[in-house]
Amino acid sequence: MRRYHIAKVYRRDNPARGRFREFYQCDFDIAGQYELMVPDFEILKIATELLDKLNIGSYEVKLNHRRLLDGMLEICGVPAEKFRTICSSIDKLDKLPWEDVKKEVQDKGLSEEAADKIGTLVVKRGKPLELLEELMRDDSPFRGNAASEQALSEMKQLFSYMEVGKCLDRYVFDLSLARGLDYYTGVIFEAVFTGTVKMGSIAAGGRYDDLVGMFSGLQVPAVGMSLGIERVFAIMEEQSSQVAVRKTQTDVLVLGIGKSLWNVVIAIANELWELEIGTEFKCVAPGKIKKNLSDASDKDCIPWVVLVGQDELDQGVVKLRNMSEKIEEEISRDGLAAIIQTRIASAACAT
C-alpha cells in the first residue's frame, strides 16, 4: 500500500507558538513487503522534494537509525529497561547543551562513566557518507554490536540509493536524533527550518515495522513521513510580515507628461498588455509628476514607471524608472516593450 493523506489530527500537548492540540498534517506512507531500504529512500526523497517546492527557505534534515541508537546505549552500558528514558533525554540535545543532558541522564540513575561514554558518541554528526565510513572502521566502538552492525549495513544501502537519487546532500547523519521512541524501528529523520523564524521541526518520519501489528495483529512493515502544514503556514505568515508586500499586481505605470499624449501612452500600454505585463496608464500635468511617482512607489508598490514626455519622444526615446533602485534611464521607444519584459523576467529570477 502507498498512500497520502491530508487531514486534521489531534495531539495531547501544551499549546504554544507552532504547537497545537488540533492541526492539519500531510502524511505519506508505504506499507508492505519491499526490497530492503527502497521505500525508505523514496520517503526521504519525497521529504526533500516537498520542502524544496514549498520554497520557505533553508532547512536541515537530521537522519539516524533507531537500532544504531539502541546499540550505542548498549555499548555505553545502559540497561535495556532504561533505553527509552535515556533516549528521551538525548533527544533534547537540539535545545540543551550536553552538560544539561548529562545531568538529566545521571538523575535517571545512569553512572557518570556511562554518561561520558554516551557524550562522546551522541555529538557525532556530519555528511552521511563521511560519518558512516567513520562508524564502520575496525576501531569503531560500534563494531561487534549486533544492533549497530545491522543498522550501519542498512544505512550503507540507503545512502547508495540516496546518492543516486540526488538527495543525500540534503541530509545530516546525526547520532543525537532519537524520536518516536514507542514505535520507530529503523530509519528516523526530522526536518528543521533554519531560517529566521524559530519553529522547530516541520517534517519528520521513519520506519515503524511493528505499529500496524499493535492494532491489527498482522505484522506489516511500513515507513512514512508527516509534514506539519500549520507550522509551514506559520513560517510563511511570519516571513510575509517581514517583507514589503506589493499592494497591486501592476508591474508598469506608463505616465504621460501632458494631456496631449494619450494616444502614445495608450499605444505603449497596449504593447505591454500584449506581452501579458500588468500595466496602468495615465497622463498628468508636469506639476503632478512627483506625486504620481511617490504614489507608484509607496502606495501602490509598482516597480517600473515609463515617463513619456514630448521632448523625449521627438528624440525617439522615453524614460524608464526602476522604482526600488531609483534609477532612471533613457530607452528607445521602439524597443521599450521588449526591454521591460526582459527586466521583469530578470527581477523575477533574482528573487
Annotated binding residues for L-histidine, written as ranges, equal 11, 25, 29, 179, 183-184
Q: Which residue has the cell 512627483?
A: 290
Q: What is the pLDDT of residues 170-227, one digit of tens each?
A: 999 999 998 766 789 999 999 998 877 777 789 999 999 988 888 888 889 999 999 9
Give the C-alpha separation, 87 to 75, whole Å.
14
- The whole-model pTM stands at 0.68
What is the structure's pLDDT at 3?
Answer: 93
* Alpha-carbon distances, residue 171 vs 37, 168, 270 (angstroms): 16, 6, 50
Annotated binding residues, written as ranges, equal 11, 25, 29, 179, 183-184
Q: Which amino acid is at 239?
A: Q
Give the cell for residue 200.
522547530
Give the C-alpha separation, 33 to 172, whole Å.
27
User: Positive or negative CA dihedral for 91, 40, 134, 167?
Assistant: negative
Sheet bearing 327-332, strands edge to edge: 279-284, 252-257, 304-308, 317-322, 327-332
Question: Which parts of the chain have pLDDT scores under 50?
Answer: none
Q: Which of 344, 314, 317 is nearest to 330 (CA)?
A: 317
Three-state SS for 310? helix
